[in-house]
């Protein structure tokens, strides 16, 4: 998958919900974490400015991909797609598998000072919460991606933060996978 970030373009970010597993060889992973938590397994993948969440419950697997890429994405198993520009909420129920997916996303361009404050804030959050984090540089400066997770018995909450120096872009999302 191509890895360059398109500067100043809030319209490029989108989310894709899959009703199947995605495989790590499709992506240029920069950080990865996996674990079993009660009745579910969760795997987190970070790439420069994007992520995959892989949720498994019993025989069922679904994945969320948030990315700025619009080409060469896996096409099979797509359940829903959504743009990340502005503020959006999406819900999908996998009734037969007894799993709900809930996502809220917000994308905005920050001023330079707000962007630098956000980088500092989310770096501290990652340290304090032992969140999965990855830093890199684009043509405009330091960038950061963070996945922060709260595990519960029958659900998991994942907050994602992608901060891209080009254009001061900040993509924030909260995803919930809930066993019903």
**Domain membership flag for residue 1:** no
**Tokens encoding 42:** 């969760």
Range of the domain at 60: 12-179
**Domain membership flag for residue 36:** yes
Q: What is the pLDDT of residue 6?
A: 43
* Count of domains for the chain: 1
Which tens digit of pLDDT belongs to each residue from 139-166?
A: 999 999 999 999 999 999 999 999 999 9
Q: What is the pLDDT of residue 2?
A: 34
**Domain membership flag for residue 2:** no
Residues of the chain below pLDDT 70: 1-11
**Domain membership flag for residue 79:** yes
Sheet architecture: strand order including 40-47: 31-37, 40-47, 50-57, 60-67, 14-18, 78-83
Please count the residues of the chain: 180
**Domain membership flag for residue 6:** no
Q: What is the pLDDT of residue 71?
A: 83
**Domain membership flag for residue 4:** no
**Domain membership flag for residue 51:** yes
Reported pTM:
0.93
**Domain membership flag for residue 7:** no
């Amino acid at each position: 998958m191509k890895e360059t970030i398109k500067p100043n373009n809030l319209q490029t970010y989108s989310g894709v919900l899959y009703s199947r597993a995605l495989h790590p060889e499709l992506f240029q992973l920069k950080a990865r974490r996996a674990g079993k938590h009660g009745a579910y397994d969760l795997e987190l993948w970070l790439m420069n400015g994007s992520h995959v969440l892989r949720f498994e419950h019993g025989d069922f697997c679904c994945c969320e991909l948030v990315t700025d890429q619009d080409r060469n994405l896996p096409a099979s198993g797509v359940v829903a797609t959504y743009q990340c520009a502005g503020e959006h909420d999406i819900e999908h129920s996998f009734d037969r598998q007894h799993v709900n997916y809930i996502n809220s996303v917000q994308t905005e361009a920050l001023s330079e000072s707000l962007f630098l404050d956000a980088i500092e804030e989310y770096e501290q959050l990652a340290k304090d919460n032992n969140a999965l984090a990855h830093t890199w540089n684009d043509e405009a400066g330091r960038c950061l991606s963070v996945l922060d997770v709260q595990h519960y018995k029958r659900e998991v909450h994942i907050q994602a933060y992608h901060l891209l120096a080009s254009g001061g872009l900040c993509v924030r999302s909260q995803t919930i996978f809930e066993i019903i």
